[in-house]
């Protein structure tokens, strides 16, 4: 990994963690407000559809950052390059 790739990865990680932090704050505020208004009533769809969508987006970003990162991509490229293809017989 060269310097530019490492710098971009650090930038992406910083954005992800900042987004995750704000998600936690907003979720805590919404759930606390719901708790004081309705008591203990857990429902994913009751007033928190925004959190559900935001959570799905964060999950996709996490998969992209931590599972399908540059190392994974490099490994797939190396696998594809190692495959030998037979020459076309005319």
Q: What is the mean pLDDT of the chain?
A: 81
* DSSP character at residue 79: H
- pLDDT tops 80 at residue 65: yes
Domain boundaries, the chain: 15-82
pLDDT band at 71 (very low <50, low <70, confident <90, very high): confident
At 33-63, the pLDDT tens digits run 877 877 766 665 565 788 888 899 999 999 9
CA separation, residue 20 to residues 16, 23, 87 (Å)? 6, 5, 50
């Amino acid at each position: 990994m060269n310097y530019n790739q490492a710098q971009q990865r650090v930038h992406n990680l910083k954005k992800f963690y900042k987004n995750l932090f704000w998600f936690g704050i907003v979720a805590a505020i919404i759930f606390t407000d719901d708790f004081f208004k309705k008591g203990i009533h857990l429902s994913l769809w009751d007033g928190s559809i925004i959190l559900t969508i935001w959570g799905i987006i964060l999950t996709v970003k996490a998969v992209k950052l931590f599972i399908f990162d540059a190392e994974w991509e490099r490994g797939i490229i190396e696998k594809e390059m190692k495959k030998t293809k037979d020459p076309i017989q005319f």
